[in-house]
Amino acid sequence: MHAAVEARGHALVTGASAGIGAALARELARRGHPLILTARRADRLEALREELSKQVDCRVLVADLEDPEAPTQLLDAVAEQGIEVGLLVNNAGYGVPGTYGSVDWETHARFLQIMITAVCELSWRFLPQLQRNAGGVINVASLAGHVPGSAGHTLYAAAKSFMIKFSQSLALENAEHGMRVCALCPGFTYSEFHDVTGTRDQVSKMPDYMWMQAEDVVREGLDAWERGEIVWVPGKVNRVIKTLTALMPDRMALKLVAKRSKDFRKL
């Protein structure tokens, strides 16, 4: 079994019921990390808890991060169980199809609550525990946070870019506590994400070499966090895309994204 790094405290994984979140939970369990799994879907969480409890202590806390009270409720629920968090994995997320003006503000507000506010509040509320346990944070960002924003899903790349910068600052501030903070930035990953956003038919036309399995993404991501990487883009193809985009003049990069947006974003 892979030896857990600084495994004091439980690993709290948000959005753990499917996709990258479930894959993260499985890989963390394989590495010996006790778990707290949270998401909205109790049935899926319970099935995963039953599976992973054979390997590590695994708790389930049903929560909807759309609720502004959820971070405080999670903090209280963890305290009631007499345990502490040593690794916070901010994974919960999704995309909102359409252009900015075509979507009602309430939908945008819910998105911002889950993707930015909850990430920041959970990190702040659990920070004393993370510092005590010399643990860390993994923020599941995206390759989209490194490339120019696209037409459609207007706030998605912006939120992921925020997560990257937030991770960098948090890492520098907390290095003295022995904490590791990593922004994990996947590209196209096989999961339910594109079904939820209604872009499955579009992205299915992308070439196979653009895609990664969730298991490979999380294995790379956890390895990167363990060795102290602050930002990690899994997959050689994705790292090439990040590098080439950074080297391009902004005007050229934006023109390229404008041409290809319809291939992976729903307007």
Q: Is 203 exposed, middle or buried (0-12, 13-18, 19+ CB in 10 A)?
A: middle
71 within some domain = yes
Q: How many domains does the chain have?
A: 1
Inter-CA distances, 161 with 14, 30, 164, 206, 212, Å: 19, 30, 5, 23, 21
- Please state, in angstroms and rounded to a whole number, the distance separating the CA atoms of residues 265 and 153: 7
3 within some domain = no
Over residues 224-239, the pLDDT tens digits come to: 999 999 999 999 999 9
pLDDT at 104 over 90: yes
CATH number of the domain enclosing 90: 3.40.50.720
1 within some domain = no
pTM: 0.88
Q: Is 184 exposed, middle or buried (0-12, 13-18, 19+ CB in 10 A)?
A: buried
Q: Which of 94, 100, 156, 190 is catalytic?
A: 156
15 within some domain = yes
233 within some domain = yes
5 within some domain = no
pLDDT at 265: 57
Percent of the chain with pLDDT over 70: 88
Q: Which domain holds residue 45?
A: 10-264
Over residues 107-128, the pLDDT tens digits come to: 999 999 999 999 999 999 999 9
- Please state, in angstroms and rounded to a whole number, the distance separating the CA atoms of residues 226 and 237: 22
| 152 dihedral zone (left: phi>0; alpha: psi -120 to 50; beta) | left
Is residue 209 part of the annotated active site? The answer reads no
Q: What's the sign of the alpha-carbon dihedral 32, 72, 43, 198?
A: negative
- Please state, in angstroms and rounded to a whole number, the distance separating the CA atoms of residues 49 and 32: 14
pLDDT at 211: 78
Over residues 10-61, the pLDDT tens digits come to: 999 999 999 999 999 999 999 999 999 999 999 999 999 999 999 999 999 9
40 within some domain = yes
150 within some domain = yes
